[in-house]
Structure 1
């Protein structure tokens, strides 16, 4: 490999929940770009403001954490997330309402986000014109439908070309995630990559080794791939329901009436409060008025009072954030205290690991089963797995990692960067590809 990079290139991890971009750092190295202050990853989110003037790029927008903040604050507009899921669907060429009587094609929304990543790389010192890129892709954009899967990659490539990338290559995300481990071993290994993020838990059985490192086409090294749509956001929801919302009336009962047994308080409001993208729906005047009239449904008036405080002061995302923080606090074992003074002075809720374990047990069981299924699809036995490679933000949950590892007692456990393994691996691939 040459000591410098004459070409202008980058590597992009366009993720369902978060994205990152790597650029050359000289001497054969790559570095991740700081996309937001102090952050090497940025939420894959765009917020279209209902008000404001168009510019050359279209309606006024915010990206990443600023986009999420605008949505949480109740700004009039439209939040777009999980844009990756649009690939391979008929939606990609359709136009959607983004507020203020404006419309935007899904393709343009996706391309606009990629353009923001490219602009960030150029601002961080990438060499102009930055016209070559490696993009990550899942093993399957669309399961079991090869034509739609191929269409998804074509759409992503077209979006990349539309924002200035003239040469576009792809690498499989699980292979990219395993590159770091591959560079450290001296013989061929079979690795189960567990990539567990915010929305999905994906498993891949991959073959890695020093003799394979320089191969640009690694498709044959992916022996199996499988996943489930259960991950970090589901964990947060269950923690909020079990550890926080019981103090707001979830699973509580109303008063006995005329000798009839007490009835459970309706739970729909709590499920919506614990589901991130539904939280803003509970603030509608009609729904707040309806719930205000339900005080008599509650056996404990304090529960209803706290619930109304959350609705009237729009504290739903505050509770969701506290649930996520509590999950992280107990992820390594032990207990934590959730401070809810924003709702009620002095209100604190203790969350123990046992409660968290019980709340997450069902989800973790399904994730572990997905790992077993992946190994079976590869035609292998658990003892034939040489290493487990953990990546993705949710692999920091100790219980989850332990439950997965228990099925593969002979496998070495390797932890990559939970948030940037794929982007780092894609950067390594880009350097090999473009610095030849």
Structure 2
């Protein structure tokens, strides 16, 4: 590699549980400036997802696959194959060395799945940069595996091995909460204690970190992470509760059966509704046996319109469309107000209203549990709530106003900063990569 290409032959990768992003040097910007790579048309992030097709020929990269939103679309459309998501959770587990069936009589190692996704990201970065890239900063959680140091070390070693397998030769790691806080650190007037709230699709993670002008140049920031904690409640849980509260009642959820003399009407069975509101279970309701069983339950419904709508959803495979409408409704009322959800694709003229108040009612319990996790994180750091100087919000679910306001209410003296919902970590990793490789020999 030439001296000029070596000066820019690096990137930073946020390999996220739900979404991933890449930062590379900005050739058109100031020295040390970084930019995010467009991973899909008009998108700076890509879902961390791979779909393996059951049919098709292998090529030099392995079995036929789709990545990101194309992978999710293949699954939603019912293509024959296997969708893999949340691949980051495999790190530190015995699964990493095992092989799984992906359909068509094919087996793929979990390690190769992970490496294949990283290879896709690396190629995107190189295509955008216009040259080869062999150096990388990878983000990592404070703990891949809680309270098990050996497994945590094994998780990082597996991720490093995967990065090396796809052609990276100089590999470094930075903690994700520190990376998220880098944006704020550039404007921090003095040393401060920041509570980073990273609330994404699957988990709500909190970290208390020290930032400040004098610490900014340090490459090793481990000692600046004072505590980390989290709960497995986040955006996908919000979407499920919104769908159950606002949309699925129009399809029979929590409705009653027909009135009979001397009997109290019974609530219709709810299992199908919970499956329809859980993204990875939606396709299970389309099996012929399940559809036949539910078709035979018309007499269970006091209002047979509910059953008719439910069967339309099942027979026309519209479950993911309903889930999408629920997510859209959540986003639409995120900052307050209300929205009318159009369900005319199921029944002409069918709409339901949803408001910020409805969101508060549907999500109140989850929001309180997330706020509690933040308070617990501060306690683990040995601090009082009034000793937090700033709150830094990142992650796709932090735009939900009731959630952000509830968390902020515990820290009235703290400055509140909203980072980039999806790219704060990648941007911060990019800043670290620029500092690291600028000083590397």
- The two structures have a TM-score, normalised by structure 1, of 0.98
Confirm or deny that 1:171 pairs with 2:174. Answer: yes
Matches within 5 A, 1:34-433: 34-128=38-132, 130-433=133-436
Rounded Cα–Cα distance in structure 2 between residues aligned with 1:183 and 1:330: 32
**Which sits farther off after the overlay, 248-257 or 112-121?**
248-257
RMSD of aligned alpha carbons: 1.0
Mapped contact 1:4–1:28 kept (Cα < 8 A): no
The C-alpha deviation readout for 1:224-250, integer Å capped at 9, x for no partner, is 000000000000000000000000000
Instruction: Give 1:57 shift.
Output: 1.1
Rounded Cα–Cα distance in structure 2 between residues aligned with 1:58 and 1:260: 61
Confirm or deny that 1:12 pairs with 2:13. Answer: yes
Mapped contact 2:72–2:83 kept (Cα < 8 A): yes
Rounded Cα–Cα distance in structure 1 between residues aligned with 2:88 and 2:130: 25
Rounded Cα–Cα distance in structure 2 between residues aligned with 1:73 and 1:152: 33
Mapped contact 2:82–2:103 kept (Cα < 8 A): yes
Q: Which secondary structure state, in structure 1, belongs to the residue aligned with residue 321 of structure 2? A: helix
Structure 1 match to 2:22 = 21
Mapped contact 2:13–2:23 kept (Cα < 8 A): yes
The C-alpha deviation readout for 1:153-195, integer Å capped at 9, x for no partner, is 0000000000000010000000000001001122100000000
Deviation >4 Å, runs of 4+: none
Mapped contact 1:5–1:24 kept (Cα < 8 A): no
Pick closer, same or farther for the CA change 1:391–1:5 going to 2, 3 Å. Answer: farther
Mapped contact 2:196–2:209 kept (Cα < 8 A): yes
Q: Which secondary structure state, in structure 2, belongs to the residue aligned with residue 227 of structure 1? A: strand
Instruction: Give 1:127 shift.
Output: 2.9
Mapped contact 1:47–1:78 kept (Cα < 8 A): yes
Q: Which secondary structure state, in structure 1, belongs to the residue aligned with residue 139 of structure 2? A: strand
Q: Which secondary structure state, in structure 2, belongs to the residue aligned with residue 290 of structure 1? A: helix
Pick closer, same or farther for the CA change 1:382–1:40 going to 2, 3 Å. Answer: same
Rounded Cα–Cα distance in structure 2 between residues aligned with 1:191 and 1:111: 34
Mapped contact 2:8–2:25 kept (Cα < 8 A): no
Rounded Cα–Cα distance in structure 2 between residues aligned with 1:185 and 1:404: 21
Rounded Cα–Cα distance in structure 2 between residues aligned with 1:429 and 1:423: 10
Instruction: Give 1:256 shift.
Output: 2.4
Q: Which secondary structure state, in structure 1, belongs to the residue aligned with residue 398 of structure 2? A: helix
Instruction: Give 1:7 shift.
Output: 4.4
**Which sits farther off after the overlay, 286-295 or 18-27?**
18-27
Instruction: Give 1:56 shift.
Output: 1.0
Instruction: Give 1:423 shift.
Output: 0.1
Q: Which secondary structure state, in structure 2, belongs to the residue aligned with residue 370 of structure 1? A: helix
Q: Which secondary structure state, in structure 1, belongs to the residue aligned with residue 392 of structure 2? A: strand
Q: Which secondary structure state, in structure 2, belongs to the residue aligned with residue 394 of structure 1? A: coil
Mapped contact 1:196–1:394 kept (Cα < 8 A): yes
Pick closer, same or farther for the CA change 1:4–1:56 going to 2, 3 Å. Answer: closer
Rounded Cα–Cα distance in structure 2 between residues aligned with 1:188 and 1:362: 35
Mapped contact 2:344–2:350 kept (Cα < 8 A): yes
Mapped contact 2:5–2:131 kept (Cα < 8 A): no
Rounded Cα–Cα distance in structure 2 between residues aligned with 1:73 and 1:90: 31
Instruction: Give 1:4 shift.
Output: 9.7
Rounded Cα–Cα distance in structure 2 between residues aligned with 1:249 and 1:33: 44
Instruction: Give 1:6 shift.
Output: 1.4
Instruction: Give 1:314 shift.
Output: 0.3
